[in-house]
Amino acid sequence: MARRTRVLLAKLGLDAHTIGVNVIAQALRDAGMEVIYSGLKQTPEMVANTAIQEDVDVIGMSSLSAAHMTHFPRVVELLRERGAGDKLVIGGGVIPDEDSAALLEKGIERVFTMGTATTEIIAYIEAWQAGRGAGRDT
């Protein structure tokens, strides 16, 4: 039986805007995924550790201040260093177009800016999971 997709939602740095992450958490759960929420004021190390310990498939990071340019790429680096580079890393929030382009180059697979429908994010994760072999067997 395919296990449910496990998603870690994370807030890095000092940014405390939580509406986006609250909404995404509830939407992903309603779509049948398992959601773990990091809480506020996380460092990239804390997020990478949690992602590995909890064996998540997807890491979604939310930024509505400046954290994305420094912290998002660092999470990708840490995951790769620890052999966990196969996880899907995505970001969202208030992220200017030029920053999004830079993040995509640094291994963030996709950046969803403010106003993206939750259904679009769910469909994206489901498509990625399907492309990966319809979830791993447990």
Partner 1 sequence: MSDAKSIEQGREAWQRDTLEPRLAEAPERKHPFTTQAMGWPVDRLYTPQNLDAIGFDYVRDVGFPGEYPYTRGTDPNGYRSDLWTMMQVSGFGTGEDWAERGRYMLDQGLTGLFLEYDLPTTNGLDSDHPLAVGEVGRAGIAVDSLDDMEALLDLPFDKLQRLTSICNGPQTVNLAMILAALKRRGIDPGSFTLQMPNAILIEYTCVGRYIFPPDHGLRVAIDALEYSIQNHPNWIPISVVSAQLYAAYANPVQELAFSFAIAKEYLDAALARGFDIDTLAPYFSFITGIDMDFFEAVGKLRAYRKVWARIMREEYGAKRPESEQLSLTASPGTMSLTLQQPLNNIARLGIQMLACVIGNGGHAMNTPLHDEAHALPTEDAIAVGAAVQNIVAHETGVADTVDPLAGSYYVETMTRRIEDAVFEELAKIESMGGALAAIKTGYFQKELARQQYERTRAIEDGSRVLVGVNHSVREGEKRNIEIHKHDPDVEHRQIRKLERLRAERDGIATRRALDRLRDAARSGENLVPPCLEAVNAYATHGEMCGALRDVFGEYHPDSLTTGIS
The residues of the shown chain that bind partner 1, judged by CB under 8 A, are 9, 13-19, 21-23, 25-27, 35, 37, 39-41, 43, 65-67, 69-71, 94, 96, 113-115, 117-119
Q: Among residues 1 and 19, whose Cβ is nearest to partner 1?
A: 19
How much of the chain is helix, strand and coil, in % rounded to 5?
45, 20, 35
CB of 115 to partner 1, least distance (A): 5
Q: Among residues 3 and 41, whose Cβ is nearest to partner 1?
A: 41
Question: How many other β-carbons are positioned within 10 Å of the β-carbon of residue 75?
Answer: 26
CB of 83 to partner 1, least distance (A): 25
Cα distance between residue 97 and residue 26, in whole Å: 27
CB of 95 to partner 1, least distance (A): 11
Q: What tokens does 23 get?
A: 């909404």
Cα distance between residue 72 and residue 43, in whole Å: 10
